[in-house]
């Protein structure tokens, strides 16, 4: 599994904590490659496939270990990860106070995913 130290060795990180290297994680926070590896290892949370978008969304609730490794996740209650058509990996974060927004986003993904299955 990728660690913070691995990421710091591999990527140029801005003072704000974003990856500066061109490529899959460009412009994302330094924890993006970590969550990508979590998903690739099959350890991500709920996955929702939306055939209309041909995209998989993965919902992850950061653990205490995740937050210890990446202090930027301290107030994060959940993330939704996906890969764009151009191959970029995006991580949408939801922080303390955004519980309702996070829950609604997850519910919407579940509904859209189920609706697509019913249409087939």
| Number of domains, the chain | 1
Cα 93 to Cα 79: distance, rounded to the nearest angstrom: 5
| Residues 80-110: tens digit of each pLDDT | 999 999 999 999 999 999 999 999 999 999 9
Q: Are 4 and 70 in contact (CB under 8 A)?
A: yes
Residues 6+ apart with CB under 8 A from 42: none
pLDDT of the residue at 116: 53
| Residues 30-58: tens digit of each pLDDT | 999 999 999 999 998 999 999 888 899 99
Q: Structural domain of residue 104, as residue ranges?
A: 4-119
* Beta-bridge partners for 18: 29
For 92, the token pair is 């949408």
Cα 47 to Cα 65: distance, rounded to the nearest angstrom: 21
């Amino acid at each position: 599994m990728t660690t913070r130290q691995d990421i710091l060795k591999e990527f140029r990180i801005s003072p704000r904590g974003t990856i500066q290297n061109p490529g899959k994680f460009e412009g994302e926070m330094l924890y993006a490659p970590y969550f990508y590896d979590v998903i690739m290892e099959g350890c991500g949370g709920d996955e929702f496939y939306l055939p209309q978008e041909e995209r998989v969304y993965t919902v992850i609730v950061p653990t205490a270990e995740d937050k210890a490794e990446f202090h930027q996740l301290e107030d994060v209650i959940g993330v939704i990860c996906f890969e764009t058509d151009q191959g970029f990996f995006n991580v949408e974060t939801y922080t303390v106070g955004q519980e309702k927004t996070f829950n609604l986003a997850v519910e919407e993904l579940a509904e859209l995913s189920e609706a697509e299955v019913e249409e087939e």
